């Protein structure tokens, strides 16, 4: 009978300790403020990935195939649907044409056109 009571008291003590451990842990380790960092890898990373190599390749291929921009020196960066164009083109008309062509590509949300003309 005495050993049964000791087992019951020990079990209750263990249950209480386990039930209170999250409270103690939370007090010692407060939740961080601000946004949580995203894990690297997995499905979540592909959704929030800042650089978009596939979109970049589509833009480069489109500009290389276009007669007005194929000979221009245009650098392309893509991040979350925003495409940034930098480099040098022959004229302002070519820079504007490049922006219009890129804006029509599926997946492009906006175009940051920082192209310079040779006269700049």
| Phi (first) and psi of residue 70, to 5 degrees | -65, -30
For residue 72, the model assigns a pLDDT of 92
pLDDT one-digit tens code per residue, 58-111: 999 999 999 999 999 999 999 999 999 999 999 999 999 999 999 999 999 999
Determine how β-strand 82-89 pairs with β-strand 73-79: antiparallel
What's the number of domains the chain is made of?
A: 2
18 and 38 assigned to the same domain: yes
113 and 66 assigned to the same domain: yes
83 and 105 assigned to the same domain: yes
55 and 18 assigned to the same domain: no
111 and 58 assigned to the same domain: yes
For residue 69, the model assigns a pLDDT of 94
pLDDT top residue among 64 and 44: 64
19 and 60 assigned to the same domain: no
74 and 94 assigned to the same domain: yes
pTM of the complete model: 0.58
* Structure-token match 């999250």, residue found: 22
For residue 38, the model assigns a pLDDT of 45
Q: How many CB atoms lie within 10 A of CB 11?
A: 10
Domain span at 62: 50-117
For residue 40, the model assigns a pLDDT of 42
């Amino acid at each position: 009978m005495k050993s049964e009571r000791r087992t019951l008291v020990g079990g209750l003590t263990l249950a209480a300790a386990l039930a209170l451990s999250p409270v103690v842990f939370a007090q010692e380790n407060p939740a961080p403020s601000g946004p949580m960092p995203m894990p690297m890898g997995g499905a979540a990373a592909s959704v929030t990935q800042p650089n978009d190599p596939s979109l970049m390749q589509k833009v480069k291929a489109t500009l290389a195939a276009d007669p007005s921009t194929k000979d221009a020196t245009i650098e392309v960066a893509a991040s979350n649907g925003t495409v940034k164009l930098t480099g040098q083109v022959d004229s302002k008309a070519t820079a504007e044409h490049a922006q219009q062509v890129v804006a029509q590509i599926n997946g492009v949300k906006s175009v940051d056109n920082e192209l310079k003309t040779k006269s700049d």
